[in-house]
Amino acid sequence: MRHLLILLLGIFTFMSQPAFSSPVIILLGPPGSGKGTQAVRISQKLAIPHISTGDIFRYNIKNATPLGLKVKEYLDAGKLVPDSVTLEMLFDRLNKDDCKNGYLLDGVPRTVAQAEAIQEYLKAHPHKLLVCNLVVSDAEILKRITGRRSCTACNKIYHIESAPPMQKETCDICKGPLTQRTDDTPAVVEERLKAYYSQTKPVEDFYKKVSQVHDVDGAQSSDQVFNSLLKILSPSA
């Protein structure tokens, strides 16, 4: 009986801290790992906002917020936006009401310095940190990105192996000619992978120290990756 009471009290204490169950999901993975696509699906499924730095930049610039104006100055001058400004914008976004029940970070943190700053921020904001890492080999990424073709007329995306058009180099929908983006060449992809390994891979090591990093086989089909992620992020879903 006493044990039961203690157990009930424990459950009650746990349940009365809903903030701790707010998931903060961090998706890691190299360019071409399908991270962006999965981020959209996961945030829809779990009904939490999908936060990407690109979106935050665009929002602030479009609405000419004080931070947006600062960013525009850097961009207009052809300079990189410093970490401090990016983080200020990120935390400004995370402080909004819709992030109270959790959120998913996509493409951020990109550096260990950003990861440390986010970890500091999280100390003051109760949450449940869930870090997933999409694992895809360099060879697979090269194949994925360099095989990509898009329609010059309607922008539909094809892949010469996994999603080829019915007629070679021609869009199924509008019959427009297909083209390869200039940054989808092996040389550019290898350059991006190199940047990823030197800058962002250490972020993975950082999270291995402060939390658990769940590796997910990103070479599976998009649906399989999605289901693997869901099992980790929301076992009851």
93 labelled catalytic: no
Contacting positions for Zn ion (CB under 5 A):
151, 153-154, 156, 171, 173-174, 176
Which CB sits closer to Zn ion, 6 or 173? 173
Is 58 among the residues known to form the active site?
A: no
Q: How far is the CB of 153 from Zn ion (least distance, A)?
A: 5
Tokens linked to 135: 């694992």
Q: Is 181 a catalytic residue?
A: yes
The H or E element containing residue 76 is helix 66-76
- Round to whole Å and give the CA distance between 124 and 104: 18
How many helices (H) and strands (E) would you count in the chain?
10, 8
What the block records as the tokens of 78 is 């052809």
104 alpha carbon, distance to own chain's centre: 7
Phi, psi of 23 (to 5 degrees): -80, 135
Which residue among the candidates 100, 110, 128, 201 is catalytic per the annotation?
A: 110
In the chain, the amino acid numbered 73 is E
* Of residues 152 and 222, the one with the C-beta less far from Zn ion: 152
One-letter amino acid identity for 86?
T
Nearest distance, CB of residue 177 and Zn ion, angstroms: 9
Q: Which of 93, 144, 148, 149 is catalytic?
A: 148
- Maximum alpha-carbon separation in the chain: 75
Respond yes or no: is residue 192 known to be catalytic: yes
Of the pair 67, 151, the CB lying nearest Zn ion is at 151
For the chain, the C-alpha Rg in angstroms (whole number) is: 21
- Please, which residue, 151 or 189, has the CB nearer to Zn ion? 151
Q: Is the dihedral of CA 79, 204, 43, 162 positive or negative?
A: positive
Catalytic residue among 181, 194, 208, 231: 181
Active site residues: 35, 110, 148, 181, 192
